[in-house]
Amino acid sequence: MSVPRPVITGALQGDIYLNKPAPNRLEFREFVKDRRQFSLYIQALQRMQDNNFSNDFSFAAIGGIHGYPFVQWGDSGNPTPPTDPDHFGGYCTHGSVVFPTWHRPYVALFEQELNRQANEVVKLYHVPDLEEWLTVARNIRSPFWDWAHVPESNSVPVEITLPEVDIIGPDGAPKRTWNPLYSYHFKPEDLYDTFPLPFSQWTQTLKHPTDSGPDAQSDMKALNQTYADNSSQMRTKTYRCLTTLTDWEHFSNHTTVQEPGMADSLETLHDTMHYEIGGLAGVYGPATGHMGDPTVAGLEPAFYLHHTNVDRLLELWSALNQDVWVVPGEQPGGTWTVPVDGILDVNSDLTPFWNSQSSYWKSSELRDPTIFNYSYPEFNDLYTLPAPERRRKLIEKIKELYAPGWQVPSKHQGPDYREWSLHIKFKKYQLGAPFTVLVYLGDVYVGTVTAFVPGRETKCANCRRNVGTEIEGFVFLNEVLFREYQDLPSTKNEDVLPILKDLKFKLAGSKPDGTLLDIADLTSLKIAPVCYSYQEGAKDELPTLGEPEYHWGVLEGKPGNTPAEKWAL
Ligand SMILES: [Cu+2]
């Protein structure tokens, strides 16, 4: 071995605090308010993007770990890609029990280089307040975009939509510069021309492409519209995920679990945000952007704002479920180093993330993010509290952040109150393309469940062995019921079931030849309305859910209608 292997340490610099074990990763909209911090972040990201693919710590090389160009990173695994056409050629693990823990060192790797570059950039500064700049540089961490915390503007952070941004330059004067969050511009050595169509013809990453031709641009209006239409549902989904799931199988990934969990997994929430940021052909625009396809998503700069937040949600959930961590499970489709359907557990190597010259990080070592020298602000001041009090404070914070923004009308409150949702399942590889199932009540859009899967022309070409892999998610109905049916007498079966006859389902996404997908194409779709009694509880208590009652077969004549006996198959 001639060149040392890249070892993931997390950010190397950072100060010691009394109220937290390591510097905070900050919410992006808070993060940008510190102009020094934002200026260093933008320039650090520019330098990462300027670096060449041959540098393991360049933006392109880090992004390429996730999927394309399907090459070895950091001397991990075979030097050549898997030859089996059923075998996925990236290192990322989706649909498996290590989805949350694999992405933890991945974001830490990004953050490690971001912090290092920020500390290089600050050396160029010759300003009177240099001490403050140096402090900011040492403590800079990868910010998270808390997409479930909906701002009054109901829009995405403006900084990801602008081609240029204003920063403070090394001489202390304002400076306008190109925005590395707007897109990543490919270099020939990134091998982007080996990506499948339409990605091979695009010289930069796109969010909601204006078309599938070579001149496509990002349509930021479509991005904001998609976010706005989904934000309230995503907030409800995030709240239900954090407060109702209590085991790793349901929480960690989107693959169907026999016993229903009543909320989206962390990965399912994450999948829909990939669609919201990248776009899928058919709803707001005509083409799928990079974030919508896992083989190229790691090259979109907003990926890291999103995945830092996914890591934070993992931390919030883990703090409420301290005895729960990775359980054994399969890796459908395999990865660069994991065989198809290989069994993974808490001691599996999270390749390609070296923790020394000869060993990899394992999920068992990654329970506490302090190991990568970062923390989250929700935990500040809680570290020294006794466990029960710490838990109560955390629940209170989660409720403040995510308890649904809509109110249960007073006439519906009480012991008879029921929550309604749709349990949605489908085979994720059935259409050979990423897609999302859209739910409407009458003509009112309600929510979606997304298949964040590679397009057919990728190396996971046929995925025949995993063609049966089923994923699941939920769409919550009470908000739209209360808003659109104000005369609704109660949330009991006899009052709600007749309304569900107004449900409509559509599909967004396109075939490799560009033609739009239709809901009728998704023959594996199964949809069942489900309800349960629901009590919110005190501000520092988790909600209580009653036994779920499934209403199979009531969507007669609609896509996905499934009789009870076919549901589990
Ligand atoms: Cu992702």
SS3 string of 100-163?
A: HHHHHHHHHHHHHHHHHHHHHHHHHCCCCCHHHHHHHHHHCCCCECCCCCCCCCCCCCHHHCCC
The helix (H) or strand (E) run that includes residue 248 is: helix 248-252
**Is-contact 284 436, C-beta < 8 A?**
no
Amino acid letter, residue 217: Q
Whether 192 is in a domain gets the answer: no
Whether 1 is in a domain gets the answer: no
Shared-domain flag, residues 135 and 90: yes
Which of the listed residues 367, 400, 433 is the one where a domain comes to its end?
400
Whether 10 is in a domain gets the answer: no
Whether 276 is in a domain gets the answer: yes
Per the structure block, which two tokens stand in for 264? 């989206």
CA 323–ligand 1 middle distance (angstroms): 26
CA 92–ligand 1 middle distance (angstroms): 9
CA 564–ligand 1 middle distance (angstroms): 33
Shared-domain flag, residues 250 and 343: yes
Please state the ipTM of this predicted complex. Answer: 0.93
pLDDT string in tens for the chain (569-residue length): 478 999 999 999 999 888 999 999 999 999 999 999 999 999 999 999 999 999 999 999 999 998 888 888 988 887 777 676 666 667 888 778 899 999 999 999 999 999 999 999 999 999 999 999 999 999 999 999 999 999 999 999 999 999 999 999 999 999 999 999 999 999 999 999 989 888 999 999 999 999 989 999 999 999 999 999 999 999 999 999 999 999 999 999 988 887 888 999 999 999 999 999 999 988 778 889 999 999 899 999 999 999 999 999 999 999 999 999 999 987 777 777 776 767 889 999 999 999 999 999 999 999 999 999 999 999 999 999 999 999 999 999 999 999 998 999 999 999 999 999 999 999 988 888 899 999 999 999 999 999 998 886 544 444 455 667 899 999 999 999 999 999 999 999 999 999 999 999 999 998 877 789 999 999 999 999 999 999 999 999 999 999 999 999 899 999 999 999 998 87
**Is-contact 348 363, C-beta < 8 A?**
yes
**Is-contact 140 117, C-beta < 8 A?**
no
CA 307–ligand 1 middle distance (angstroms): 6
Shared-domain flag, residues 512 and 390: no
CA 66–ligand 1 middle distance (angstroms): 9
CA 416–ligand 1 middle distance (angstroms): 39
- pLDDT at position 14, please? 95
CA 388–ligand 1 middle distance (angstroms): 33
DSSP notation for 260-313: --SS--HHHHHHHHHHHHH--TTSSSSS--GGGSTTTGGGSTHHHHHHHHHHHH
Shared-domain flag, residues 547 and 475: yes
Whether 69 is in a domain gets the answer: yes
Residue count (the chain): 569
Shared-domain flag, residues 429 and 345: no
**Angle subtended by helix axes 220-244 and 302-320, to nearest 10:** 10
Domain count, the chain: 2
Shared-domain flag, residues 423 and 375: no
- pLDDT at position 463, please? 47
Whether 189 is in a domain gets the answer: no
CA 271–ligand 1 middle distance (angstroms): 7
CA 276–ligand 1 middle distance (angstroms): 12
CA 38–ligand 1 middle distance (angstroms): 24
Extract long-range pairs of 256-263: CB within 8 Å, 24+ residues apart. 256/425, 256/470, 256/471, 256/472, 257/472, 258/568, 260/423, 260/530, 260/548, 262/421, 262/474, 262/530, 262/532, 262/545, 262/548, 263/237, 263/474
Amino acid letter, residue 414: G
Shared-domain flag, residues 472 and 522: yes
Q: What is the dihedral of CA 372, 377, 383, 385, to 10 degrees?
A: -160
Shared-domain flag, residues 216 and 116: yes
Q: Give the CATH number of the domain where residue 352 resides.
A: 1.10.1280.10
CA 379–ligand 1 middle distance (angstroms): 24
- pLDDT at position 466, please? 62
535: left (phi over 0), alpha (psi -120 to 50) or beta: beta
> Measured between alpha carbons, how far is residue 52 from residues 68, 90, 374, 484 in Å?
15, 19, 27, 53
CA 95–ligand 1 middle distance (angstroms): 11
CA 22–ligand 1 middle distance (angstroms): 25
CA 434–ligand 1 middle distance (angstroms): 13
CA 436–ligand 1 middle distance (angstroms): 15
Shared-domain flag, residues 342 and 322: yes
At residue 111, φ and ψ (nearest 5 deg) are -65, -35
Planar angle of CA 200, 205, 206, nearest 5 degrees: 105
- Identify the DSSP state of 25: P
Per the structure block, which two tokens stand in for 538? 């005190």
Side-chain-side CA neighbours of 363 within 13 Å: the count stands at 22
Whether 426 is in a domain gets the answer: yes
Strand pairing category for 418-427 and 526-535? antiparallel
Shared-domain flag, residues 273 and 386: yes
Q: Which residues form the domain of 443?
A: 402-567
CA 255–ligand 1 middle distance (angstroms): 15
- 425 burial level (CB within 10 Å; 0-12, 13-18, 19+): buried
CA 157–ligand 1 middle distance (angstroms): 18
CA 532–ligand 1 middle distance (angstroms): 31
Shared-domain flag, residues 171 and 310: yes
- pLDDT at position 459, please? 45
Whether 20 is in a domain gets the answer: no
Q: Which residue, among 145, 111, 104, has the nearest Cα to 314 in the 3D structure?
A: 104
Which of the listed residues 369, 400, 431 is the one where a domain comes to its end?
400
CA 544–ligand 1 middle distance (angstroms): 30
Q: Which residue, among 428, 417, 476, has the nearest Cα to 450 in the 3D structure?
A: 428
Shared-domain flag, residues 392 and 437: no
**Is-contact 419 534, C-beta < 8 A?**
yes
CA 546–ligand 1 middle distance (angstroms): 32
CA 389–ligand 1 middle distance (angstroms): 33
CA 565–ligand 1 middle distance (angstroms): 34
Which of the listed residues 351, 367, 400 is the one where a domain comes to its end?
400
Q: Give the CATH number of the domain where residue 448 resides.
A: 2.60.310
The helix (H) or strand (E) run that includes residue 436 is: strand 435-441
CA 293–ligand 1 middle distance (angstroms): 9
Distance CA 426, CA 497 (A): 23
CA 177–ligand 1 middle distance (angstroms): 28
